[in-house]
């Protein structure tokens, strides 16, 4: 399997500095980052490490879930996955840490009932490589079939 690369160019201090995150392997884009917008309620067109983790986690989970659904005998027609990643103080070590991740998935699936979908989703939460990498963070799941 290949190694993927992203790079960040940063200038200045934490409080007044800023940077650009480049998705180097895919060349899909370059995104602005800075701490004031990272800590603000409104991102205003600037991304953050937490948003990038959320993007990686939602994509990884969706891929793993589609594989699990097929393995359980179902056919995924559509999966809508969001990941909410929270940042907060690190009481034990100082600074900040990821304090929680909520995965939410709604799916249109042929061949699985709600219980089968929930089981496939729980297994995807445990089995996706990004979930495994984030094992030190509490990850919760809200999974349901669309009616």
Please determine, for residue 42, whether its predicted confidence score (pLDDT) is greater than 80: yes
Q: Residue 96: its pLDDT value, please?
A: 93
pLDDT, tens digit, for every residue of 108-139? Answer: 999 999 999 999 999 999 999 999 999 999 99
CATH class of 49-145: alpha beta
Report the pLDDT averaged over residues 55-66.
98
Ranges of H-type helices in the chain: 35-39, 49-71, 114-127, 129-133
Q: Which residues contact residue 27 at a Cβ distance below 8 angstroms, ignoring those fewer than 6 apart?
A: none
Torsion of CA 105, 111, 115, 118, to 10 degrees: -30
CA distances from 78 to 33, 121, 129, 131 (A): 32, 14, 21, 21
């Amino acid at each position: 399997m290949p190694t993927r690369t992203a790079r960040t160019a940063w200038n200045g201090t934490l409080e007044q500095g800023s940077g650009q995150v480049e998705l180097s392997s895919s060349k899909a884009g370059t995104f602005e980052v800075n701490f004031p917008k990272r800590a603000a309620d409104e991102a205003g067109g600037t991304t953050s490490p937490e948003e990038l983790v959320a993007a990686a986690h939602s994509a990884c989970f969706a891929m793993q879930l589609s594989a699990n659904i097929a393995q359980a005998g179902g056919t995924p027609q559509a999966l809508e996955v969001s990941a909410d990643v929270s940042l907060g103080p690190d009481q034990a070590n100082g600074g900040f840490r990821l304090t929680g991740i909520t995965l939410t998935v709604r799916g249109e699936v042929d061949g699985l009932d709600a219980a089968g979908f929930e089981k496939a989703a729980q297994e995807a939460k445990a089995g996706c490589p990004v979930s495994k990498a984030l094992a030190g963070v509490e990850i919760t799941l809200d999974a349901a079939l669309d009616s």
